Chain A
Amino acid sequence: MTRTLVLCAALTAAGCGSAAPYVATPPASQPAVPGSIAKKVDLLYISDGNGEVTVYTYWQKTLVNTLTDFTQPEGECVDDRGDVFITDAGAQRVVEYAHAGIKPIATLDDAPFAPYACSVNAASGALAVANEAGSSTRGNIAVYAQASGTPKLYTDSTIKDFQGCAYDGSGNLLASNGQADGPDSYFAWLPKSGSKLIDVKLPGPQSSWTWENVNGIQWDGRYWVIDYYNLYRISVANGQGYYVGQTDLQDFDGQPGPFWIYNIHRKSQGTQVVGAYNEFSSSSVVYWNYPSGGDGIAEISKGIDKPVAVTVSLGKIHE
């Protein structure tokens, strides 16, 4: 597997003259956001079902860019620099963009697997990718050290295909099959010093709780958050899961999620959650307060087409 540096990104952008480096010209219907601003503000990346990734300023909710050249964009994640990784399940690769960049700066060939989600280990810089089997026979968690090179593959006896994963602040990984292989969702845990995935049972708010159709997993700065219509916070210690609490998201009757926890201080708990929301006739991305939840506080619908994943790239990195 190779990582291809795309050195021409800045040159191309600078050479076009139509926009400042790394920032595409917004559609005519959208107000232009100068590139110098876009590079400093928090950006919301949305993987759409139409094969595009649309980029908005997080707070102003202004569409600033549309990234194309995907076959089937799925999961998204960011590293400490604000670089955004987008898994392309159809093309079996992971594409990396700089914050506000319009061209990839690197591509990871993930074939023969179909990457559905990703997470960056803030402690080590490693990139974990949740793979469905793709054109192979079994999916895995692929860990790319320093988000490059050849990955180390972790398979699990219970989970055939992976659709979700998230690192905590210490480098432990929690992964799930999500909605793959039937409605039941299962979880596996890769400790920071672990050499194998360990199946872990996660409790829920009720004693007989079972997880089905989990949309994804996030780390909120203090707990793992299971994305299952509402949000459920979980702690994992000693190889065991402990239920912490839940965040109810109101106002929506359909299938919400996946979500992203907005968190400017990675050592603290996030303060907002933003997530996709799909109906038969329309789709949007909604913001809520976190962890209080409740009613949505903002919404983006323009330019959204059946969103499947979101992430936030911070314009300024806070310790």
Chain B
Amino acid sequence: MKLVDALRPAPIFVVYLIAAGCGALQTNPAVQTTAIAAAKPAIKVTNNWVFVSDPGSAQVFIYTLPRLRLIEIATGFTQPQGECSDAKGDVWVTDGAAKTIYELEHSGKIVHQLSDTKGAPIGCAWDTKTGNLAVTNFLGTDSQGGVVLVYHHASGVPNLYYNPQQFNYEFAGYDDTGNLFFDGLSRGGKFMLSELPANSTRAKTVKVYGGKVSTPGMVEWDASANDLVVGDQNCGQAAASCVYRMTITKNGATISGQTKLDNAVGGEVCDMIQGVLWKKSIVGSDFDFCGSGSSATYVWPYPQGGKPQSTNAHNVLQPFGAAISVGSKGD
């Protein structure tokens, strides 16, 4: 763990003094929040942080939301990739080269890890209904295709699930009722969306209507809209990433909307691999190999998309995944 001392949050007692002594500072959200907390201790004040994995530097960067101020850099990884959050606010980070899934508490400290003997983990999803952790392996061992591993209560030996039509397994998300959706590629390299229904032992292909997805990206259930959000790293087979909103029915998934994402200079995002929804925003990074700019992490309004609300272009080299960690003040 490497603390970013210069960017540590100010001690709380300092904030109290400032808040008490200067009403003008009430416009500072952090101070305002703390002041409210001091007046009404029963209200829990939370930190909303995003964990951004970067296999290019083998680190995980932790930023505040929505401003994307760097708080912490977590180390100890080999190839950190896709991420997900659990009910405690811990973040799970898949490490393809280490064949390990790491659990990071809100501070960024690694507190637990799961080994993956079945291949290279790339994505994960947390089932709020059961407390199970699903992990997607991009590939298996010895030229075999990928698989979904479900760790019961995020521990022990996982159960394995396959869609025989799918070869590469990438990103995953649970809906409110415990159905797991995951994307990836067929053996022929075509985009695929699959579903492992709750309590089922066999995954099935979900046919996508209303458009064509090129390169698998994020998969996340948006409970507020009751739809599935699926990322495409190459929207329209172009060098631009976007996300699609999909309505799920028993017949398949129908694209009901598209969110395009711009970078800091007004161009389209080159490659967002795995973003994450946060309140009325989407948070993710642009792995920018398309232009002369550098890779960066962004917060965009969702579902509007377009120009980013916040940008941090100072840290990431090859950003990959993102997950939200909500912790109490002082965690």
Contact = CB atoms under 8 A, between A and B. Distances in A.
Q: How large is the interface on B (under 10, 10 to 19, 20 to 34, 35 or more residues)?
A: 20 to 34
Contacts of A240: 55, 79, 81, 96, 320
A149 interface: no
Contacts of A207: 97-99
A239 B188 CA distance: 19
Contacts of A238: 81, 122, 170, 233, 273, 320
Nearest to B234: A193
Interface in A239-266: 239-240, 242-245
A235 B138 CA distance: 10
Interface stretch (A14-22, A99-107, A196-204): A196-204
A195 B138 contact: no
| A: contact size bracket | 20 to 34
B175 to A, nearest CB: 24
Nearest to B292: A195
Interface stretch (B194-202, B253-261, B283-291): B283-291
Nearest to B140: A244
B290 A195 contact: yes
Contacts of B238: 193
Given A240-B55, A245-B142, A245-B143, A194 B97 contact: no
Interface of A: 169-170, 191, 193-196, 198-199, 201, 203, 207, 233, 235, 237-240, 242-245, 267, 291
B263 interface: no
Contact of A243 (B81, B120, B233, B270): B120
Given A238-B170, A239-B318, A240-B79, 10 more contacts: A193-B239, A193-B270, A195-B289, A195-B291, A235-B139, A235-B168, A238-B233, A239-B271, A239-B287, A243-B120
B139 A198 contact: no
Interface in B290-331: 290-292, 318, 320
Contacts of A239: 55-56, 271, 273, 287, 289, 318, 320
A242 B139 contact: yes
A233 B170 CA distance: 19
A267 B122 CA distance: 26
B77 to A, nearest CB: 12
A199 to B, nearest CB: 8
B143 A203 contact: no
27 contacts: A169-B189, A170-B189, A193-B234, A194-B290, A195-B289, A195-B292, A196-B289, A203-B79, A203-B96, A203-B97, A207-B98, A207-B99, A235-B138, A235-B139, A235-B168, A237-B168, A237-B170, A238-B81, A238-B122, A239-B271, A239-B273, A240-B55, A240-B81, A240-B96, A242-B96, A245-B143, A267-B188
